[in-house]
Amino acid sequence: MTRPIMANYLRSRRRKAGLSQRELARVLGFLTENQVGRHERGVLLPTFLVAISLEIVFRASTSELFPGVYETVRQNVEERLDALERELQESSARGRKAALIARKLEWLWERRNPDAVSPIS
């Protein structure tokens, strides 16, 4: 099974800046330009520190540089948050545990409705 290629804008940002892969590799602290090419082709995801470095170099967020990766991760996290919310709603806890569950559900609601007033407040 092959991994889907995740869209990114590293190559276009690098070329717009006039940098070669070798120059960008040097700025990022890589020994060769091979890693830059793998990142540009979406074959290799950058480590957290490399992603921050790329943000600094191009003055763009990782969500701008790697929109395909960002969207895939966003969808996965949202699905897991939905599952957590369903699990919490189905819980029959009492006492202190019920209060903790209520707080988590309130946080999930506030997260989805940032401009609304909480129904519990």
Q: In terms of pTM, does the model score above 0.85?
A: no
Bigger pLDDT: 87 vs 7? 87
Q: What per-residue confidence (pLDDT) applies to 2? A: 47
The alpha carbon dihedral of 107, 112, 113, 114 has a sign of: positive
Quick one: 87 and 57 in the same domain?
Answer: no
The 3-state DSSP class for residue 6 equals coil
Establish if 93 belongs to a structural domain. Answer: yes
- What CATH number corresponds to the domain at position 52? 1.10.260.40
Establish if 38 belongs to a structural domain. Answer: yes
Quick one: 19 and 52 in the same domain?
Answer: yes
35, pLDDT greater than 80:
yes
Asked if 85 and 108 touch (Cβ cutoff 8 Å), the reply is yes
15, pLDDT greater than 60:
yes
Res. 115 pLDDT band, cuts 50 70 90: confident
Quick one: 29 and 59 in the same domain?
Answer: yes
5, pLDDT greater than 70:
no
Report the run of H or E that residue 27 belongs to, with start and end.
Answer: helix 21-28
Q: Which domain holds residue 96?
A: 82-112
Establish if 119 belongs to a structural domain. Answer: no
Establish if 121 belongs to a structural domain. Answer: no
Tally of structural domains, the chain: 2
Establish if 56 belongs to a structural domain. Answer: yes
